[in-house]
Amino acid sequence: MDSSVYLARQPILDKTGKLFAFELLFRDSPKKDSAIIRSAIAATANVLENALNGIGLQALLGSHKGFINCNREMLLGNITSLLDAKHFVLEILEDVIPDETIVAAVASLKYKGFEIALDDFVYTEENCRLFSPIFPYLSYIKIDLVNNTLTQRKEAVSYFRKLGISLLAEKVETESTFQECLDEGYDYFQGFFFARPEILTGNFVPAETQAILSLLRLLRKEPTLGLLCKEIENYPEIKESLLRYAVTGNVLRQVENRSIQEIIEWIGIRRLHEWLMLLLYSRSSADSDSRDSALFRNVSHRAKFMENIAAFIPNATENFCADAFLLGVLSRLEALSNVSLDSLISKLNLSDAIKDGLQYRGQLGLILRLTDAMEKDCQEEISDSLTQLSLKSFVLKICVENAYTWAAYA
């Protein structure tokens, strides 16, 4: 029996679209017909074991908080004693009935310094009466956009604003929905809108973008220093940008007459990779100073996760793994550049395998589909993708943990 576990990590953003926190979800199997969570205590214990021991808080959360789902069993148990209130928000599931015992437990957790959230709240007079005993202890209430009407959404803001409780909109899928909720007064947002902005017409992909992508792909193949320097020399604009980075970043006290090789030797391959990723963002997005943005973390994590998955494919080659990493970056370039996918494919000199992958065809397309399903926590698609790739579910834990760790320092 497969006893491996893995974490699904979903970003929570603030009003500016910057990363605020993550919701951490436990999964012990991607199979739809399995008992995904057999015990709330066991499920949460596995989340904590993975977070605290397997992946590590720095890699998993960075400087942000993690929302942990809590049902009645956990709220009344002692497992919260393992948690540091500075790092975790306790999220009360919507089916928890706030009787006197629960209210007392929530009050105690609040006294210990925890921030408390209420999940999937449907704004009705009946629910407000039912949950009112725990309102004084809540920092956040999550409003599901699917289960609340526009009127309910607006009334919730007015009602809870008076109580000093921040509102978090769940299932925000588009930029327009994000803007609507922002105008209504919501404070935080959870969903996939940050990766799917409205497509603008008339934009173009700078030629330099192609060069950056080529260098990123080359780095995945661990080239010799000589070959890497030779490639950078082929792109004068990138070479010039690297020299400026060395100056402004105080990488070298003196860069005059310094060769590209000397600069790379000084900054190291990891920082070069980070710099290229930032350069890609700065060429594609006005938010060029957003290494800590949700989109930057998302693209870094998904690219490494896809590369990791590719390595488990039978007979995987170095080029195949490098293509998988690049596909992970490209799959978010539409969001970065506000250019349609068709336009990206036509303007960038991509291999047929990557073109197919972007359209969810071939093995790379299956890896991309698996990655999307992991981010959406869609268990049926995860299981189906693993089957088509001839992979066991235990690889998810390995690939996810490695990607979280890598992305935290990429």
Which residue type sits at 113? G
Domain boundary among 148, 172, 195: 195
Is 200 inside a domain boundary?
A: no
Is 391 inside a domain boundary?
A: yes
Tokens of 197: 């902005």
Higher pLDDT pick, 199 / 266? 266
Strand pairing report for 88-92 and 115-121 = parallel
> What value, to the nearest 5°, has the Cα angle with vertex 160 and ends 159 and 166?
150
Q: Using the predicted structure, report yes or no on whether residue 250 has a pLDDT greater than 60.
A: no
Write down how long the chain is: 410
What distance lies between CA 404 and its chain's CA centroid? 9
Q: Using the predicted structure, report yes or no on whether residue 350 has a pLDDT greater than 60.
A: yes
CA distances from 78 to 45, 82, 108, 220 (A): 11, 8, 12, 45
Could you tell me the residue range of the domain that residue 99 belongs to?
Answer: 6-195
Q: Give the pLDDT confidence score for residue 219 in this predicted structure.
A: 85
Strand pairing report for 19-27 and 6-13 = antiparallel
Q: Using the predicted structure, report yes or no on whether residue 277 has a pLDDT greater than 80.
A: no
Residues 6+ apart with CB under 8 A from 338: 197, 198, 199, 200, 203
Query: Please, which residues bridge with residue 23 across strands?
Result: 10, 67
In a shared domain, residues 30 and 141 = yes
Pairwise CA distance, residues 130 & 303, whole Å: 44
Q: Give the pLDDT confidence score for residue 193 in this predicted structure.
A: 63
Between the ranges 292-301, 341-350, 372-381, 382-391, where is the mean pLDDT highest? Answer: 382-391
**Which one, of 270, 283, 302, 119, lies nearest residue 204 by Cα?**
283
Angle between helices 294-312 and 362-376 in degrees, nearest 10:
130
Average pLDDT rounded to a whole number, residues 203-229? 78
Tokens of 98: 């706030």
CA distances from 372 to 101, 145, 156, 211, 284 (A): 40, 21, 31, 26, 22
Phi and psi based region of residue 19 (left: phi greater than 0; alpha: psi -120 to 50; beta: remaining): beta
Is 1 inside a domain boundary?
A: no
Pairwise CA distance, residues 120 & 128, whole Å: 13
Is 201 inside a domain boundary?
A: no
Higher pLDDT pick, 68 / 271? 68
> Environment class of residue 318 by beta-carbon count within 10 Å: exposed (0-12), middle (13-18) or buried (19+)?
exposed
User: For residue range 124-179, what is the model confidence (pLDDT) as tens digits?
Assistant: 999 999 999 999 999 999 999 999 999 999 999 999 999 999 999 998 887 788 88
Q: Give the pLDDT confidence score for residue 121 in this predicted structure.
A: 95
Q: Give the pLDDT confidence score for residue 202 in this predicted structure.
A: 40
Pairwise CA distance, residues 81 & 252, whole Å: 47
Q: Give the pLDDT confidence score for residue 24 in this predicted structure.
A: 83
In a shared domain, residues 181 and 217 = no
- Rounded to 10 degrees, the C-alpha dihedral 84/90/96/97 comes to 80
Q: Using the predicted structure, report yes or no on whether residue 284 has a pLDDT greater than 60.
A: no
In a shared domain, residues 175 and 302 = no
Secondary structure in 3-state letters for 175-237: HHHHHHHHHHCCCEEEECHHHCCCCCCCCCCCHHHHHHHHHHHHHHCCCCHHHHHHHHHCCHH
What CATH number does the domain containing 126 carry? 3.20.20.450
Tokens of 305: 């996760």
Domain boundary among 138, 161, 195: 195
Q: Give the pLDDT confidence score for residue 27 in this predicted structure.
A: 64
Average pLDDT rounded to a whole number, residues 320-327? 88
Pairwise CA distance, residues 112 & 390, whole Å: 47
In a shared domain, residues 162 and 279 = no
Please report which confidence band the pLDDT of residue 375 belongs to, taking 50, 70 and 90 as the band edges.
confident
Which residue type sits at 84? D
Q: Give the pLDDT confidence score for residue 152 in this predicted structure.
A: 96
**Domain total in the chain:** 2
Domain boundary among 125, 160, 195: 195
Average pLDDT rounded to a whole number, residues 269-288? 64
In a shared domain, residues 291 and 405 = yes
CA distances from 356 to 58, 353, 360 (A): 36, 5, 6
Q: Give the pLDDT confidence score for residue 261 in this predicted structure.
A: 85
User: For residue range 33-72, what is the model confidence (pLDDT) as tens digits?
Assistant: 443 444 556 656 666 666 666 667 777 787 889 998 888 8
Q: Using the predicted structure, report yes or no on whether residue 181 has a pLDDT greater than 70.
A: yes
Is 339 inside a domain boundary?
A: yes
DSSP conformation letters of 317-343: -HHHHHHHHHHHHHTTHHHHHT--HHH
